Structure 1
């Protein structure tokens, strides 16, 4: 039986020292990762998300549903 796919939005931010990227998963508080490249950071984030979801399931906690969540950018006057 094929398992359902879960989708999560992630925020990829450059590290302050300029030597990598930091990833935050807004729907999963405490779930974050990093990597030297964007690609590595995203790969590491997938692993972190999988482990976080596994822990939620093990503890009987609900898995957030992000099917209707989206992020966008707005501009304001400086």
Structure 2
């Protein structure tokens, strides 16, 4: 399973909107952005499939996942 990193950030433009972003460390350049987490989740699934399909068409083996995801809880 490939790890996906995600974050939400606030732009520095005058409109101050929230943007969500996801990337796949094991697939350099495979990223997705959107206005909501739901939008980014849908887009990153499509991006991963497209990226892997392109690698296979070019005769490149998909990488063995190296990234690891951990969750930690911190008292606020």
On whether the aligned pair clears a TM of 0.5, the verdict is yes
Q: Deviations over 1:45-65 (max 9, x none)?
A: 000001000000000111012
Please give the alpha-carbon distance, in whole angstroms, between the structure 2 residues aligned to 1:10 and 1:42: 10
Query: Which structure carries more strand by proportion?
Result: 2
Aligned residues: 67
- With structure 1 as the length reference, what TM-score do the two structures score? 0.73
- With structure 2 as the length reference, what TM-score do the two structures score? 0.75
Gaps of 5+ in 1: 1-6
Gaps of 5+ in 2: 12-16
